[in-house]
Structure 1
Amino acid sequence: MKTVEGAMPAGESRPPAAAAWEVFTAFLGQGLTAFGGPMAHLGYFRREFVERRGWVTEGQFAELLAICQFLPGPASSQLGMALGLRRAGAAGMLAAFAGFTLPAATAMLALAYAAPAMSGEWGSGWLHGLKVAAAAVVLQALIAMARTLARGPVRAGMAIGAGLGLMIATGPVAQIFALAAGAAFGLAMLRDEAMPAEAETTSSPVRPGVAMAAFVTFAVLLAAVPLAAQLLQSPMLALASVFYRTGALVFGGGHVVLPLLHSEVVDRGWMDADVFLAGYGAVQALPGPLFSFAAFVGGAQTFAAGGWAGGLVALVAIFLPSLLLVPAALPVWDVLRAHPAARGAVAGLNAVVVGLLAAALWDPVLTETVERPSDWALVAAAWVFLAIAKLPPWLVVVGFAAATGVMTR
């Protein structure tokens, strides 16, 4: 029987350790080469795991992607976790997460130690270039997401309303309320959302009891970690609480984590706003998940839990909700996917995410990036390089950081 490279013929099994190692090396390759952000990652994954390795079919890939879009957290990382879970069980899920995240997380932890050097003429110029590039990347993401997630008058109206509302009422509470309202409006008005054209019925690799245990653990940690941090007055638990809550509540992927973390970290005085945006700009130059930005924030912020330990705690905490929700969701999705109401709620959430990103583009991205009229031209130029010239984001980020650093010397 003919097989795709890397695929196993039906009935053939691989030892668990070997299968997990295969998943780790496959995703480490993606973590080293998958530039371009979450939407680009989906294309890389499809080419690698559907076309080249044949781990899943087109329909199975579409099913797993639909599940990940339904969950809060980083969709591309969750898709990787789901692929690893299907390939090698729980060990495969952890291997996929580790391989895909390790390169960017290591680089961001190293950059955290350079954060104090982001000062002076060279440092401030380099930092400003990173902020300009970050603004262009967010603008490009907003336009791309609006075209797919806010199409039609109902979705566009929800996105515009959410964006205007979040420009007036800021903070995590307002964002959560907007997301809840989006789900409610989608439930009522977008029930005609179609099933994915290539979706196939697949049996879940997770037993219902295991799925329930994972969800209960997710919910208990969401409530218990903030309480424990407050009772014990532990800086490390406080750090874990912020990043676990962010990973558990953010819909829309890596770019949407920006306003949530800004509210939690910068507004508390844990980190300077310029350094925060510089780190966010720097992560655009790296392959792998944008959520690895957590390693930079946890390591560089001025809170007592900083350094390597803080970076690792922040990184694990922001991904832990996904590591629990992916196995919890697979059996549930087998039931929900047939119901129009569930698909409508997800469509409403996605539309509101566009508005949330638009509000974040204005504040804090543009308000803390544009210092003079010429900065508007720099942001526009960076966007042209990204969207029109189709240059890779890492090249635009590095180029603008170096250029502004030289110009201000």
Structure 2
Amino acid sequence: MPSLEGSNKVVKPDSAWSVFLVFLRLGLTSFGGPIAHLGYFREEFVARRQWLSERSYVDLVALCQFLPGPASSQVGIGLGLSRAGFCGAIAAWAGFTLPSATVLVLFAKGMSTGESAFPSGLLHGLKIVAVAVVAQAVWGMARNLCTDVPRVTIAAFSACAALLWPNAMGQIGVIVCAAVVGLMLFEPTTDQPAESLSISISRKVGMISLGVFFSLLAGLPLLMEAWPTQTLSMVHDFYRAGSFVFGGGHVVLPLLQTATVPNGLVDKDTFLAGYGLVQAVPGPLFTFAAFLGASMNVHPSGWVGASVCLIAIFAPSFLLMVGVLPFWARLQHSFRTQAALTGVNAAVVGLLLAALYDPVWTSAILKPQDFGLALIAFVSLMFWKAPPWLVVMGSGLIGWLLSTVF
């Protein structure tokens, strides 16, 4: 079923179980936040497993940057969808999401209360390894996608613009401008085949999925008025949060605070404890919804509340990806679209370069020994070809040891 278009290599379809296992390992080891996750994904699926080409991967990342919701999780859903259909999409999401969600629910249920359960040096070491992971991704993508002066220039200006306007609208504006510049500068030839994920979803299914997305967005408030229950209220609040958040997982945290703390569903101290803990676990930041659902002062709470909130906040991502990908795959075969994507791909490299500086570098590299550890982690990934999970665990341990010495 899935194949890499524009290539003579045909890839056999994977089972949903095999997709789950791959993403489960990433869900257990992908520390560092959304930008670092994209770096882990690139290393795993482009460089190591060759599930797709560099260009296809960056095209998918660019699409997810346009959509609301957690970009890294949406990239994972798209990859799972291409490898094993709908079951693969669910398997990819579950493998990447459940480890951190489970830890957060266990802490919410009383096994611990927050970040103090993790040594500060260990947490700092995990932040440092994120620098190496993102740097590796930027280096590899730049070598493949910024191959001439115009593309390097687009990447550089995109990075500068992202640093000057560090918000979701600035990021989207950069991508739109890069697409326009790509249309003006680049002219793909007829022998340049399109490269896209093989998605076996019809436009009809895509339209139905988009219809469900907008129907829930408009209909949940009406349902709440007709049947005012606490469960429906939780679904409404978390579904809207997942539908309107641009710019990554960190942006959703203040929205969830507004939805839970002022009305007494979760007290402020509990919210702050969970906020600290979610920075310390691997996987997507949207799993904070599971912590809040388990911590509710009303019914449902515990595992049921966590499940309701977790599904509600990720549901928009599923519906949007299934709804948009059939049209996106067809658009990519247009030569004009390919020209625009050439500019967008260079801009994505620039956006990741900006993110490498802020927030990844600025939050992790505070002392000379931090830079040294980041350099060793980068060399380990790039040249020693050490497994990413081993580099992550080793950096966390070294960060803890350094905190006891310096």
TM-score normalised by length of structure 1: 0.67
d(CA) in 2 for partners of 1:37, 1:156: 23
The answer (yes or no) to whether the contact 1:64–1:82 under 8 Å persists in 2 is no
The answer (yes or no) to whether the contact 2:278–2:285 under 8 Å persists in 1 is no
d(CA) in 2 for partners of 1:302, 1:124: 26
Secondary structure, aligned partner of 2:130:
helix
Secondary structure, aligned partner of 1:71:
helix
Q: Identity of counterpart residues, as a percentage? A: 22
TM alignment of 1:293-308, pairs within 5 A: 293-300=284-291
Superimposed CA distance per residue, residues 54-75 of structure 1 (whole angstroms, 9 cap, x where no aligned partner): xxxx9xx999879846732544
State the match for 1:100 in structure 2. Answer: 92
Closer, same or farther in 2 for the Cα pair 1:154/1:107, shift >3 Å?
same
Task: Compute the displacement of 1:343 (Å).
Answer: 0.9
What is the alpha-carbon root mean square deviation over aligned residues? 4.4
d(CA) in 1 for partners of 2:91, 2:81: 10
Confirm or deny that 1:240 pairs with 2:229: no
Confirm or deny that 1:265 pairs with 2:257: no
TM alignment of 1:6-405, pairs within 5 A: 23-32=15-24, 37-39=40-42, 40-42=44-46, 68=60, 71-72=63-64, 73=71, 74-85=74-85, 93=86, 95-112=87-104, 113=106, 116-119=113-116, 123-192=119-188, 197=193, 205-218=200-213, 224=218, 237-246=236-245, 260-265=248-253, 275=276, 278-279=279-280, 282-283=281-282, 292-300=283-291, 309=305, 313-314=309-310, 317-318=313-314, 320-326=316-322, 328-330=324-326, 333-334=329-330, 336-405=331-400
The answer (yes or no) to whether the contact 2:242–2:313 under 8 Å persists in 1 is yes
d(CA) in 2 for partners of 1:63, 1:166: 21
Secondary structure, aligned partner of 1:377:
helix
Task: Compute the displacement of 1:32 (Å).
Answer: 4.4
d(CA) in 1 for partners of 2:336, 2:384: 40
Closer, same or farther in 2 for the Cα pair 1:304/1:107, shift >3 Å?
closer
Superimposed CA distance per residue, residues 285-309 of structure 1 (whole angstroms, 9 cap, x where no aligned partner): xxxxxxx414543345799779754
Task: Compute the displacement of 1:135 (Å).
Answer: 1.6
Secondary structure, aligned partner of 2:160:
helix
The answer (yes or no) to whether the contact 2:293–2:309 under 8 Å persists in 1 is no
Unaligned 5+ segments in structure 1 are 1-19, 48-57, 86-92, 250-258, 284-291
d(CA) in 1 for partners of 2:351, 2:302: 31
Closer, same or farther in 2 for the Cα pair 1:188/1:277, shift >3 Å?
farther
Q: Letter of the aligned partner of 1:38 in structure 2?
A: F
Task: Count matched residues.
Answer: 344
The answer (yes or no) to whether the contact 2:121–2:396 under 8 Å persists in 1 is yes
d(CA) in 1 for partners of 2:152, 2:364: 27
Q: Letter of the aligned partner of 1:109 in structure 2?
A: A
Q: Letter of the aligned partner of 2:253 in structure 1?
A: V
Closer, same or farther in 2 for the Cα pair 1:205/1:398, shift >3 Å?
closer
d(CA) in 2 for partners of 1:405, 1:23: 39
Closer, same or farther in 2 for the Cα pair 1:397/1:207, shift >3 Å?
closer
Task: Compute the displacement of 1:81 (Å).
Answer: 0.5
Task: Compute the displacement of 1:79 (Å).
Answer: 3.0
d(CA) in 1 for partners of 2:366, 2:293: 25
Q: Letter of the aligned partner of 1:261 in structure 2?
A: G
Closer, same or farther in 2 for the Cα pair 1:66/1:262, shift >3 Å?
closer
Closer, same or farther in 2 for the Cα pair 1:123/1:136, shift >3 Å?
same
Closer, same or farther in 2 for the Cα pair 1:175/1:235, shift >3 Å?
farther
Task: Compute the displacement of 1:29 (Å).
Answer: 3.8
Closer, same or farther in 2 for the Cα pair 1:405/1:324, shift >3 Å?
same
d(CA) in 1 for partners of 2:361, 2:328: 40
Superimposed CA distance per residue, residues 96-145 of structure 1 (whole angstroms, 9 cap, x where no aligned partner): 1222332332211133355844227x621111111111121111111122
The answer (yes or no) to whether the contact 1:142–1:357 under 8 Å persists in 2 is yes
The answer (yes or no) to whether the contact 2:76–2:92 under 8 Å persists in 1 is no
Secondary structure, aligned partner of 1:368:
helix
Q: Letter of the aligned partner of 1:352 in structure 2?
A: A
Unaligned 5+ segments in structure 2 are 1-12, 30-38, 65-70, 258-270
TM-score normalised by length of structure 2: 0.68
